[in-house]
Structures are given as structure tokens and as C-alpha cells.
Amino acid sequence: MISNPVIAQKAPFRLELSPGEYWWCACGRSKKQPHCDGSHQGTGIVPVNVKLTEPKAVWLCGCKQTGEAPFCDGSHNMLE
């Protein structure tokens, strides 16, 4: 069974990330937003892998409604 994602916040998370591998929380249940902490278990929702080869500023989706996961596409502007 697939659950609906929980809105973690109605704005993106702006992060300065170093090169490496990250897991973006797609379910909205993680206590370590916007990163996955395993809280998706049993929801049918899986985290999204982000790999960076150089330092980069990113805007990761906080509302979990983006069509460009894990990046913000402005979907939070459509939420009530």
C-alpha cells in the first residue's frame, strides 16, 4: 500500500552540499528533513538518491509534491 507523502514544510530547503551521496526524504516523515532517516518503511514511498561531484547550493523540496524530485519546482505555491 502506498501512503501519501506528508508535507514537511511549505517551502524548499536551501542547502550548501559538499560532494557526496545524499538521500532526500520523499515521504515527509523523516525527523532529519530534508534527509531520509528510514521513516518511510511501510509507506510504499522510497527516498531519492542525490549524488554530487562538486560543492553545490540546492533547493530541495519541502512539500514533497514536486514533479522534479528531489528539487523544488514551486509546487508549494499551489498548496492551501
Question: How far, CA to CA in Å, does 80 sit from each of 7, 11, 26?
Answer: 11, 12, 20
Tell me the whole-structure pTM to 2 decimals: 0.94
* Grid cell of 68 as nine digits: 522534479
Position 50 scores a pLDDT of 97
pLDDT of residue 80: 83
- Are residues 13 and 62 in contact, defined by beta-carbon separation less than 8 angstroms? yes
Please identify every stretch of the chain with a pLDDT value under 70, giving residue numbers as ranges.
1
